[in-house]
Amino acid sequence: MSEIKKVVLAYSGGLDTSVIVRWLQDTYNCEVVTFTADLGQGEEVEPARAKAEALGVKEIYIEDLREEFVRDYVFPMFRANTIYEGEYLLGTSIARPLIAKRLVEIAKATGADAISHGATGKGNDQVRFELGAYALMPGVKVIAPWREWDLNSREKLLTYCEERNIPVEKKKGKSPYSMDANLLHISYEGMVLEDTWAEAEEDMWRWSVAPEKAPDKATYIELTYERGDIVAIDGQRMKAHEVLAYLNKVGGANGIGRVDIVENRYVGMKSRGCYETPGGTIMLRAHRAIESITLDREVAHLKDSLMPRYAEVIYNGYWWSPERRALQALIDDTQTYVNGVVRLKLYKGNVEVVGRKSDDSLFDEKIATFEEDQGAYNQKDAEGFIKLNALRLRIAASKGRKL
């Protein structure tokens, strides 16, 4: 263990990572550098500085990464209409590659020879952090305390704090759930949710009202797209993180974005979680709407066929992989003409598309009309088209095959 001289820790300032700081110091006799990221989790990150200082940390990094997070990670993911197992908008998954990147960059800048994180040995996050770190810094040493120590309960962690005079902040009204939050979502696991038959408690939710308690009057918004990304809301241009923050607020107020799912973790187990993703739910619906008038049919279908694979790549932690880069290049190329405006109606948990327009629209009213098309489309052409496509079916039937 003596070869570890300096470790960069992904540090939240909470109980687990505060214990990890002291545990690293005690176990490896090393210097600890802390890195705290503001990804829009809704809590102040600056208090982490004082907590780290109290633990003897000399090098402390606290960074506002909200714009980079949404611009370079969330938006590219939504260009693909990405959703895992039909329901999960990958709020936790998409944050991990950015954290891994900054851990490695800080390790290089400070001369550290190891990184560390507070992910448990049961979950997906350990995989995501470490795959990212190894891809960006192949020789880095990764220390995952939850896979090494025997402090496997809250009681043991608190005893460890008491024995080593580690201050523990006791927050009133602190949620009993295991939670993760950033600008894209907030997740809840554990407690009553471990019973798949039990309904989630209403007071668990933080970002949204219950749909039945949402306003009786609908909210209309217009989203402007350029190359597949939202650049303005109701005509007002915004930065990427401002777009998502606004959509979270208006979506949550209208009861949008709650899901209760059982997902298949990469490590093999099933896990039940509840997620609030108001802005992401709106973004997914709107992006498909603008693509519906701007994308070629076969390109749209190709994207849809690739999306589950792309979602798995992100969920399983392979953002920094050649296959994700290849998929992203294709996805981004398809967004060249995904420009225009989508009008949405938000009402009691629902996101309805009520209008879409684009200068790059492939929708041709002269061809699509049910009225007189003035020769734009020869309906007799359909007869040969149908017969050619039926040829293999007719041959099989004529040979006596049962279909």
Q: Which residues belong to the active site?
A: 16, 96, 125, 178
Amino acid at residue number 341: V
Looking up tokens 């210097």, which residue turns up?
Answer: 31
* Closest C-alpha among 363, 362, 357 to residue 341: 357
How many Cα neighbours within 13 Å face the side chain of 297?
1
The strand pair at 31-38 and 114-116 is best described as unpaired
**Close Cβ partners of 203 (under 8 Å, ≥ 6 residues apart):** none
Looking up tokens 């995904």, which residue turns up?
Answer: 338
The strand pair at 350-357 and 6-10 is best described as unpaired
What one-character DSSP code corresponds to residue 72? I
Question: What is the residue-wise DSSP string for 362-400?
Answer: ---HHHH-SS--TTSS-TTHHHHHHHHHHHHHHHHHHTT
Q: By the 8 A CB rule, do 272 and 278 touch? A: no
Alpha carbon distance 110, 16 (integer Å): 24
Alpha carbon distance 285, 256 (integer Å): 12
Q: C-alpha angle 16/22/26, rounded to 5°?
A: 135
Alpha carbon distance 403, 400 (integer Å): 9
Alpha carbon distance 44, 169 (integer Å): 14
